[in-house]
Structure 1
Amino acid sequence: MTKYTRQDPEISRRKFINVAMGTTAGVGTLSLLSIVGGVKPANVLTPEKELPRKGDVLVYADPAKNGAPVALADIQVGQVVYAFPKGRSLNGSDVVKNGVPRNQLIVAKFPADQLKAPTDVKATDQGIVVYSRQCMHLGCAVEIKPYPSKNLQEAAVCPCHGGVYDLAEGAKVVDGPPPAPLPQLPIKVQGSQVVVDGFFLSLPKDLTESEFEAQKKELEKA
């Protein structure tokens, strides 16, 4: 008598079918999860993500300053201040608009004769010019430092991929991969405060043209 038993072919077929169906279901589930996981979540517009708009006041981005308005005395030639806009949102509440990278702002000051095109000089006041801090390449926050190879004492330099912007000349790109200048934000000085005087003058990094225009229309109606 042999010690091996012969397996019933019908049982083998059933096992094969069950395993195959289980494998197919598993692959289907993984495929569904991959598709669902790859779907980009909706970009919900909340008050802290709204665009800066006319009438917003610039407040310090430094948490230690507790949202205080930027003091003119702190805006000096050769120095920069990082700020957020604070103002009334679409829902009527006062809010610091610090929910998206584009809204962190560079506040710089230059002697009036040093601000040159493509800077919109009419959108500056007392030599103060303001730009979004979000790099137009992949969205990193730029840092302000000298850039000797371009003879710049005050350049916006991206620490991620080396993009360089000339703040005195419209934040134009002078080195690296960014495809466009940093968006300039129009401002004016009112008393002791720096106040937003309009929307960004060019498309920010993290918005499409249609999103940008739609949000501006909503804010203009409010």
Structure 2
Amino acid sequence: MSSQDIPEENLPAARDTGHGAVKVADEEHPFADPGLPPHEHRVQDIDERAAKRSERTVALLFTLSMLATIGFIASFVAIPVEKIVYIFPLGHVSALNVALGVTLGVALFAIGAGAVHWARTLMSDEELTDERHPIEAPSEVRSKIMDDFRQGAKESQLGRRKLIRTTMFGALTLVPLSGVVLLRELGPLPENKLRHTLWSKGKLLVNMNTDEPLRPSDLITGSLTFAKPEGLEEHDHGFQNEIAKAALMLVRIRPDDIKDKRTMEWGHEGILAYSKICTHVGCPVSLYEQQTHHVLCPCHQSTFDLADGARVIFGPAGHPLPQLRIGVNDEGYLEALGDFDEPVGPAFWERG
């Protein structure tokens, strides 16, 4: 039914609010502003004991967040990375990952739950209306905003509820420590651990397949062989970490085909030793083309010329494969004459 169908005697007098809206409908303004329903007080508004119970609940949640954050840090320090546990229905999972996930989740959830419970039970819940105004804020509006802010701060009872204030600040202070602990392990510290490998003067070159020391006669021209340092065994603790830096690639090239004098001097009778770790993102380089003396990384097609100091001739790699200087000991075995000339693998912040 439209307003025109309503008998005129039944239409109440219209009352203009001053902003184009009316409290009571009429023919010109058929849709009235119903206004806000009457405010209903919560039990905490009228019973201080209920308010105290809510305060203790909020403080308990904030305290739980602090304890969970401490548990997060303790788990990170105390639980070994390799520890595996069985948890139904997840199966066998990393104990460290589970502990970190649970403690951090509880810490964040407790802060959020405490803030929500605080707002719903103790902060003022009386609805206020404000008419629309131009985008430009006059001075009286800015003054009103500051007054509203001060009023909101007063109604939040932050100054009055010291227990909530103290525990909230404690929870918000401790939670960022979780991120600090995680940042500690995002990358290597500026030390020399990426600049050195197990290779050193006198270390024998051991065949990765046969686990036997290599002699020059074991390598034929055009061959590609992978080697590891003497004393590094697959069953050793930390084998993967060490071989990721020390993996060696041996090729034998006719001396006349070697283009760089330094490359020749660091080899032995055409046998050249290079890091097997690609300098792009660390993939193992293994695809060798003996006619061109090029080796290809299968991950992103970086190509290196082994006859010319393993310089990059194609692909995203940023620098050549590091070369290992080798020689032959008194027993006729190939040995290292030092460590790699450059840090192996991809670039890193502290690399000069």
| Structure-1-length-normalised TM-score | 0.70
Note the C-alpha offset of 1:184: 0.6
Determine whether 1:61 maps to 2:200: no
Counterpart in 1 of 2:317? 178
Q: Percent identity?
A: 26
Contact 2:224 2:288 in 1 (8 A): no
Residue ranges of structure 1 left out of the alignment (5+ in a row)? 87-94, 213-222
Going from structure 1 to structure 2, the CA distance change for 1:34 and 1:170 (only over 3 Å counts) comes to same
| CA apart distance, 1:204 | 2.5
CA–CA distance in structure 1, aligned partners of residues 227 and 256 of structure 2: 25
Q: Which residue of 2 aligns with 1:92?
A: none
3-state SS in 2 of match to 1:96:
coil
For residue 324 of structure 2, give the secondary structure of its aligned residue in structure 1.
coil
Tell me, in whole angstroms, the C-alpha distance in 2 between the residues paired with 1:131 and 1:144.
14
Q: Of Structure 1 and Structure 2, which has the larger fraction of its residues in helix?
A: 2
Matched, 1:135 2:313: no
The equivalent of 2:44 in structure 1 is 8
Q: Describe the shift of the 1:33–1:209 C-alpha distance in structure 2 as closer, same or farther (beyond 3 A).
A: closer
Displacement, 1:83? 0.2
Work out which of the residue numbers 130, 155, 162 in structure 1 matches 2:301. Answer: 162
Q: Match for residue 194 of structure 1?
A: 334
2:178 to 29, 33, 45: 33
Alignment RMSD (CA, Å) = 3.6
The answer to which of 50-59 and 202-211 deviates more is 202-211
In structure 1, how many angstroms separate the alpha carbons of the residues matched to 2:42 and 2:268?
93
2: distance between equivalents of 1:77 and 1:167? 13
Residue-pair matches, total: 192
Write the distance in 2 (CA, Å) between the matches of 1:209 and 1:55.
Answer: 31
Cα deviation code 1:11-56 (max 9, x no counterpart): 257526733772564245653333213312878999xx84311211
1:101–1:56 distance in 2 versus 1, CA, 3 Å:
same
Partners in 1 of 2:349 and 2:337 — Cα distance?
21
Quick one: which amino acid aligns to residue 61 of structure 1? M
Whole-angstrom distance in 2 between the partners of 1:74 and 1:192: 11
1:216 corresponding residue in structure 2: none
Tell me how far 1:122 sits from its aligned partner.
1.1
* One-letter identity of the residue aligned with 2:272: V
* Distance in 1, Cα, partners of 2:271 & 2:249: 10
Q: Determine helix, strand or coil for the equivalent of 1:120.
A: helix
TM-score (norm 2): 0.46
Q: Report the equivalent of 1:18.
A: 57
Q: Which has a greater percent of strand?
A: 1
Looking at structure 1, the residues matched to 220 and 179 of structure 2 have their Cα atoms a distance apart, in angstroms, of 52
For structure 2, list consecutive stretches of 5 or more residues without a partner in the other structure. Answer: 1-39, 67-106, 109-170, 234-238
| Amino acid in the other structure paired with 1:34 | G
Q: Which stretch of the first structure deviates more once superposed, 175-184 or 197-206?
A: 197-206
Bigger radius of gyration, 1 or 2? Answer: 2
The CA deviation at 1:207 is 8.8
Q: Deviation per CA, 1:113-165, whole angstroms, max 9, x where unpaired? A: 11112752111111100011111122221112339xxxx64422222222111
SS at match of 1:8: helix
The aligned residue for residue 96 of structure 1 is 232
